[in-house]
Copies of this chain bind each other. A is one copy, B any other.
Amino acid sequence: MHVTPDTPPRPKRRYARRLPVEQRREHLLDAALRVIARDGYESVSIEAIAQEAGVTRPVVYSAYDGLEPLLHALLDRTQRRALASALRLMPQPGGDQDVAEWALEAYAALLDIVRKEPDVWRPVLGLTRNAPAVVRDRIDATRDLIRGYLADAFQEGLERRHASAHDSKEVDVDLLAHLTLVTAEEFARLTLEDPDRYDKDRLLATIETLLSSFTDR
């Protein structure tokens, strides 16, 4: 008669598919993103990512030096994807389009982009709660960057107007940039959370009204 051990010697893990480091890195970033999307930032750990990726922790450590570097890399990737398209919305240096017109088009384009790639934008827009310090700092820095571009764009656009017509309304460009960005984020969030209720036309109509206060008359 033989003894059955109370914990049968676990059937030994099956070997995961072998990947060169670079591919493994991508693989891990994808896994991390899935974890974040599913369970939120508070549940992200080397352990969780390894498990999601179907791999053991040492594998993760061989690709990244720890959780922070990994998240950092994930942010880099996201930034390349999201920031790039955001900046593309900025007015062309040589363009002579009217500011209000440009702003409206930029909003429209943004909403399109966001709805097309929700997985890229959701974490950016803070829908994924509890981002750790690294993440928040990065997002904040990016936000500042964009706001700077926005302020410049408004400044230039309004000056050009000034030159042609001579309506000398004083506008606080800095605050305008703040408001524009905050509004854009809120609207993007609304589009993501409830696309049916907050459709593009509805959002844009309100934006138009809003813009008029700064640029009309």
- The chain A residues found within 8 Å of chain B, CB to CB, are 40-42, 129-133, 136, 171-172, 175-176, 178-179, 182-183, 186, 190, 198, 202-203, 205-206, 209-214, 216
Give Cα distance in the complex from A76 to B206, angstroms: 35
A154 to chain B, nearest CB (A): 13
This chain: copies in complex: 2
B130 & A179 in contact (Cβ 8 Å cutoff): no
A202 to chain B, nearest CB (A): 7
Set B172, B182, B216: member contacting A202, Cβ < 8 A: B172
Interface of A is mostly: helix
Set B42, B178, B206, B211: member contacting A172, Cβ < 8 A: B206
Give Cα distance in the complex from A186 to B184, angstroms: 13
Set B132, B183, B198, B211: member contacting A42, Cβ < 8 A: B132
A4 to chain B, nearest CB (A): 38
Question: Which residues on B sit within 8 Å (CB–CB) of A210?
Answer: 179, 210, 213-214
Asked if A133 meets B40 with Cβ closer than 8 Å, knowing A186-B182, A202-B175, the reply is: yes
